[in-house]
Amino acid sequence: HTIPVICLDGPTASGKGTVAAALAQTLGYAFLDSGALYRITALAAIRAGLALEASAEAEIAALVRHLDIRFEAEQVWLNGENITTAIRTEEAGMNASRVSGLPAVRTALVALQHSFRCLPGLVADGRDMGTIIFPQAPLKIFLTASAEARAQRRYQQLIAKGDSANMSALLADLQERDARDMSRSVAPLRPAQDALLLDSTHCTAHEAVQQVLAWWQQRQ
């Protein structure tokens, strides 16, 4: 493919979302927040009265094919309803992690993810962008940070939103989600063989963006 894709994969709260959005903005590229698609799928499944488990796998996958999703100016719409805040809760993230372990659901979301690729390029944020969805991408980054640093960032995000937050509960949730994402049989969270590792434990999002831009320029 001649349309360039920059993949940013990594564990929850590693700063991928912030870095990927800033990169897309700087380069004038489209942006795929694949985690949002799993969050939306989980919400739609709950709304349809489905259990987020293997017994409902085929039904959730069928539901994915009929989702009416719109991303517009940082807002997300599902079947005409604004679900921007509903999909951003910790619970929505945990539910996304549950549906994301169902192979048929992952398969059902492939075409939708590919449809985000358009000129002049795409920045794709997720867990399996480099390994499964865009294996031919010319630049793949695996962004990590220590679990403590990630919990700390999530804590500050929640407090800034005016939500209550508990550091030890956040750390436990994050470790549970990491464990599930890394151990699942389909598309487990891991760096692609040709991914560059970027540890953001001790750097700001801005510094991470500068590093990725430098790598991107080296490939031009």
Binding positions for ATP? 10-18
Separation between Cα atoms, residue 34 and residue 16, nearest integer Å: 11
User: 3-22: which residues touch ligand C5P (CB under 6 A)?
Assistant: 12
Task: Build a one-symbol-per-residue string for 118-147: x at contacts with ligand C5P by CB under 6 A, - elsewhere.
Answer: --------xxx-------------------
> Minimum distance from CB of 178 to ligand C5P (Å)?
8
Residues 6+ apart with CB under 8 A from 220: none
Alpha carbon distance 77, 171 (integer Å): 30
| CA atoms of 112 and 154, how far apart (whole Å) | 28
Phi, psi of 50 (to 5 degrees): -95, 145
Q: Kindly state whether residue 97 participates in binding ligand C5P, applying the rule CB under 6 A.
A: yes
Closest approach, Cβ 97 to ligand C5P, in A, equals 4
* Secondary structure (3-state) at 24: helix
Q: What is the DSSP letter of 187?
A: S
How many amino acids of this chain bind ligand C5P (CB under 6 A)?
14
For ligand C5P, the closer CB: 100 or 200: 100
List of residues contacting ligand C5P (CB under 6 A): 12, 34-35, 38-39, 93, 96-97, 100, 126-128, 177, 181
